[in-house]
Amino acid sequence: MSALSTPAFLVDEGGLLVFYNEAAGTLLGKGFDEVGHVGPNEWGSLFGPYDAAGETIPYDDLPVVRAVRAGRPAHATFGVRAFDGHVHKVECSAFPILTAHGSQGAIAILWPVEDDFPAASIATAAGAAESNGAAPRPNGASA
């Protein structure tokens, strides 16, 4: 996974982000060594992902979660917020990692899409939150 030039994320069967490669770090603006493991309840405050309306996509609807639970590939288009507040539109394909003992997690591959992501409200909320030292939240939502 480290040798891939395409952003890739690895999660375990419980949804813990256990690794992402250098290309994903470039997309996000921070490498995995700076961020470390991220639990499923922390994803939304760090990265989104967001739908076209700027709302955080529910955890259960994410392709990587669907891939782990169903044991089948899943795909979606959404916005991912980098640490600088910029929201990147990406296509995501997630594939389960299956062993003889069942699911052991999934890998998600992201392809940045050049179209603009209609999420100005996310970027605005992210900028305001960062100036206060808080984690950015979509659409100006409060904690």
Residue with tokens 């603009």: 116
Residue with tokens 């030039």: 5
Is residue 40 reached through a cis peptide bond, with omega within 30 degrees of 0 on the bond before it?
A: no
Domains with residue ranges and CATH for the chain: 8-140 (3.30.450.20)
What pLDDT sits at residue 135?
A: 43
What pLDDT sits at residue 115?
A: 66
- Residue 23's SS3 state is helix
**Side-chain half-sphere of 23: how many Cα atoms within 13 Å?**
15
d(CA 16, CA 19): 9
What pLDDT sits at residue 136?
A: 43
* Tens of each residue's pLDDT in the chain, 143 residues: 777 789 999 999 999 999 999 999 999 999 999 999 999 888 777 888 999 888 889 989 999 999 999 999 999 999 999 999 899 999 999 999 988 887 689 999 999 997 666 654 454 444 434 443 444 433 343 33
